[in-house]
Structures are given as C-alpha cells and as structure tokens.
Structure 1
C-alpha cells in the first residue's frame, strides 16, 4: 500500500544559489517512481506517494538523486503525512491566534538529546519561546524568524550538530498538511 510522504529540502533557491527548479524536482521524484507528486512554493516542499514504507529510505534515495541531478548535496527531512498532522495537533502554541510568520516548525532528522537544549533559557529571549516536540522544534517568534535571536540560538551547531533540519513557517506547515491529505 502506498504511503504519503512530505520531503522538506533545506537551503535551496535562496539568493540565486543552489537552484532546484520545482518542475525539475517533480520530474526527478516521478523518475524515482513516486506518484501524485506536488510541490509547494519554491523553497523545496514536495508531497508524493511511494510504495516504500520507510521515510529514511526515501530520504536517502532522494538526497542521492538530487546530488546526481543538480551537482550539490541537499539535506532533506522526509516525513509521512500522519506525522505532519501529529505535529500540527501537538503544537504547544495557540496557532489559530497567531500569524503564520510568527510560528515556525523546525523539522529534525532525529530527536536531540535534552542536554543540547538545557543551556537555552527561554526567559532570556522573551517574548520569543520554543518547545521541543517529537523530532520538531516549535518556535514562537512574534517578529518573524529573520529577526529571531532565539531562532538563531536554536539553530547553532551546538544544538543541532549531526542532525539534519529545516524550518517552515506555520502557513507552509498547514498547506503541506492539506496537500498530504489522506
């Protein structure tokens, strides 16, 4: 039985570098045998179905194919549609009351050890705040991620070293949940 996956590519199509046109990404995914391929925005969001039930196997195949096609490595986080819906359901912030640009989800390839976050005092960054979920960091940044000191601190190598990650604003997360349907 086919499973719906969401692939989140990190660091593409930013500032004219590491270009991955979405039409080419869709063709690449279809060439790998995935069905129902759709992309969202230009920042590397793809939804598709695959017979392969393991997200990590899909990630490895996708990362290899992207590097072969475009000539550079692109870290990807691949999750299934159910997990993405669970991320939305578990959001510890009042998402419905916030603007989409104020709330972000940083998707992680694996759960970080708690001590990695222990040195971050949320009170020092107020009114910004974060919570760790299941392989996701929820970040409330009232002035947006681009101005967030807490976001900067959370994405430092000391916190995320050895973990592939990529962030999406809440509007994108909700749009991807809708695209993943099921």
Structure 2
C-alpha cells in the first residue's frame, strides 16, 4: 500500500484549534487508513491506504476532520514519493547553512501560475533567500522564521494557492517516518 503524508494547516498554533495527536490518529484510522502515525503537534500525519488521487484523500480527510472536530482544517496531501522528490529538489546546501540560519519548506496545494511565481521571485529580502520548484517553496531564514518576509500567509497571497510550511528538520523526520 502506498504511503501518504497529510499536512494539516493551522492546528495547535497559538492555542487555537487544539487537537491532540492521539485524537488525530483516531480520526485518520476511522477513515480506514492504516499504519497511522503522527509527528509533533503541528499536524503531520503519515498513513497508508490503497492508491487514491490526492484530491479524493483531501476531501475524505477534511470532511472527517470537520465532522469530528467541528471546525475546518485545510489539508495538503503528498505521496511519500512526492516528499522524497521535494527533498531532492532543495536548491540550498543545508550543510553550508550557518548555525542561526534555518531552512523551511512550504508545500503548495497546487502548482502556481508562472505569472504568480515570477511576481513572488521578484520580491527581494536582505536577510532571506527563496526558491520555488514546482509545488514546493524553499526559504532560508537568517533571522528566524517569525521575521521572514516569506511567511506562509505571504506565500499564499502572492501565489494564490494554499500552502503549509515545515522546517527542514521536520521534513527530514517525516521522510524517515514514511519509509
């Protein structure tokens, strides 16, 4: 059975939309997914199920989450292979980052238009570097993610697509868990 990674946007942030990971595992298992596991409290769920289109998985997950939690949770789903591809497409050499520099990855719900990408790439920052590859954006933050111009909200507004961001350590841990 294929492995999928569901990234839930906006749960357990600033005390809002609190969801315990055990509850999240129960919800995903109730859909019929197998080998359900979570990583940290920010809504990362790795699971297995029969091959399905990601759009169908998203619909099932979002519907079940709304019913169980009584609030909407936007979800982005990636296959384990897409996750691996995103890691391989990283244009930044993580080993060359200084101690206070951190890499973040924004996973996009869909591929943005060429015009939107060009508009985003025209934004300049004195402290951060940014690249986009297909449905993934890579941000090197030199003063911390809270101070970056390229926040998740900024990326969504500029690209006009839903996104959710994870730090590189989480990306790598999720990759390990999805093997």
Counterpart of 2:172? 174
TM-score computed with the length of structure 1 as normaliser: 0.90
- 1:144 shift after superposition: 1.9
Query: What SS is found at the alignment partner of 1:115?
Result: helix
Query: What SS is found at the alignment partner of 2:134?
Result: coil
Contact kept, 8 Å, 1:100 with 1:169, in 2: the verdict is: no
- 1:118 shift after superposition: 2.4
Equivalent runs, 1:102-181 vs 2, <5 Å: 102-120=102-120, 124-151=124-151, 154-155=154-155, 157=157, 159-161=158-160, 163-181=161-179
CA RMSD in angstroms comes to: 1.9
CA distance in 1, matches of 2:17, 2:80: 27
Instruction: Could you tell me which runs of 5 or more consecutive residues in structure 1 were left unpaired when the two chains were aligned.
Output: none
- Judge which range, 144-153 or 111-120, deviates more: 144-153
Counterpart of 1:28? 27
Instruction: Could you tell me which runs of 5 or more consecutive residues in structure 2 were left unpaired when the two chains were aligned.
Output: none
> Alignment length, in residue pairs?
178
CA distance in 2, matches of 1:56, 1:176: 21
TM-score computed with the length of structure 2 as normaliser: 0.91
Tell me: CA distance 1:61–1:100, structure 2 relative to 1, closer, same or farther (3 Å).
Answer: farther
Contact kept, 8 Å, 2:120 with 2:159, in 1: the verdict is: no
CA distance in 2, matches of 1:127, 1:17: 30
- Give deviations 1:15-74, integer Å, cap 9, x for gaps: 211111110110011111111111000000000101133222111100000000001111
Contact kept, 8 Å, 1:3 with 1:53, in 2: the verdict is: no
Tell me: CA distance 1:14–1:123, structure 2 relative to 1, closer, same or farther (3 Å).
Answer: closer
